[in-house]
Structure 1
């Protein structure tokens, strides 16, 4: 284990594949093809892994406001987590993807938001698992049955009104997690409006990992945030509340676990 269970290595996961206290979740997804992740999972996945879909399981249907990936219905997600064997405060959930932790971190944050601290992401994701020579399978695991009881940590999330009324407060830091060109408004391939929330500073989520998707060392995560005043309230957003979770993971690794997610993010902000 590394960083107090925030990250696990492929070797650690391999050694714990049959650990009854571990549940593995495949979070692979493609914003360009919403069916791709599930197809990849059905073709091959880490033995024993269940699949949770960003759109179907880790988000609610899109509405007028709330962004492109509104937070999921809590009762429905709790039921799904119970069905794959997650027991509150007991089961270690290990999430992985093949997108530099983008979707695995969404599940990581959601579980912590629901009061379940026993969650980690797989360092390097599915690609590093395969490159390490560990086996994959097409076998879909059967339901295990667990009891997941959500205890919502409402202080971990903020909405449009909160950001609007607090963003200019000198004791608040607003972090935009998108790539630099999207932050600057030079490119916008997803949302209808380009630019960023006034006052936000840019910390691209892709800087948390290297090109292969492996998380950068603890010291580098800490150095990333050295210019952020940690006595201030930290609000983090991205395009739709997904990749911001990679920055929240980085902040947690750096010892700054109190940062909050603007769940609707840019896609919600521009809806007003």
Structure 2
């Protein structure tokens, strides 16, 4: 399963550069950050030709669900409607992208894989790599004809609150915290009610999946990174973040390294709102011997 696509390869598939022969992909532009969640104006100012804007908050989450964190997963019916709005048909290849190293686009990658879409790739290096390769940008909105794709959820592994706790607290698993180190340590907490991390979770900031050029590290480098965090391929792995967005980037990086990992969708935004669940601070992953 290929996770990434290079700008030149995407340009060829879109007919912008020579060499394209495979099916033309649907391109989804997922501009979103915690500080600037509405990326529509940035999208309108310049995007990959033909790319459809994705509203992460509205289309990659279901806010009618309560108690499941800030970005609960959409239902099968809701995501089917979203996929069709994007113009997707069953069997279409898809490329997802953003302007932040894939850290928001990975949520769309994960959800589409979860929905049963087989060929989904992340634009490596994001919009900056597309620009640096000299490829053109379009402005304004893109209107698409409705598609007929159907979401069939279950293609990716998830863990719930109790299962995440079990992964973090047992020597038989690893739970990665994909947030910035200062949030893991509890030095700052910009949005959730308590600062710190799930006891036993290991700090693994998503940004460290990328090199200085904003591209994913090589598979070998990612394997080395995760091995240093205690992931040996013999024990189950899960990942969480603030609300299940950047943790999808961690799952993608693990997949590039050949490691299957589960996403904890509720993430710290769910955990920190449960007063019976402990939260710890500091740099140590366990405060903390394993409980079982």
TM-score normalised over the length of structure 2:
0.85
Is contact 1:62-1:69 (8 Å) kept? Answer: no
Return the offset for 1:269.
0.2
Is contact 1:47-1:139 (8 Å) kept? Answer: no
Q: Distance in 1 between matches of 2:92 and 2:2?
A: 12
**Aligned match for 2:62, one of 60, 63, 75:** 60
Alignment of 1:1-272 (within 5 A): 4-18=1-15, 20-35=23-38, 37-61=39-63, 64-88=66-90, 90-153=91-154, 156-226=157-227, 227-257=230-260, 259-272=261-274
CA-based RMSD of the aligned residues comes to 1.8
Return the offset for 1:154.
6.7
Q: Distance in 1 between matches of 2:89 and 2:242?
A: 32
**Residue segments in structure 2 that go unaligned for 5+ positions in a row:** 16-21, 275-292
How many residue pairs match? The answer is 266
Q: Distance in 1 between matches of 2:244 and 2:234?
A: 23
SS at match of 1:235: strand
Return the offset for 1:205.
0.5
Deviations 1:37-58 (A, max 9, x none): 1111112211010011110111
Q: Distance in 2 between matches of 1:201 and 1:101?
A: 22
Deviations 1:60-86 (A, max 9, x none): 117652111111233122122123332
Which protein shows a greater Rg? Answer: 2
Is contact 1:187-1:194 (8 Å) kept? Answer: yes
Is contact 1:91-1:118 (8 Å) kept? Answer: yes
Return the offset for 1:148.
1.5
Return the offset for 1:213.
1.7
Deviations 1:118-170 (A, max 9, x none): 10000111111112211111253332333222222176112113223453233
Which range moves more in the overlay, 112-121 or 164-173? 164-173
Return the offset for 1:102.
1.0
Return the offset for 1:117.
2.2
SS at match of 2:28: strand
Is contact 1:28-1:41 (8 Å) kept? Answer: yes
Q: Distance in 1 between matches of 2:168 and 2:131?
A: 43
TM-score normalised over the length of structure 1:
0.91
Q: Distance in 2 between matches of 1:120 and 1:202?
A: 26
Q: Distance in 1 between matches of 2:163 and 2:88?
A: 32
Q: Distance in 2 between matches of 1:200 and 1:232?
A: 14
SS at match of 1:167: helix
SS at match of 2:169: coil
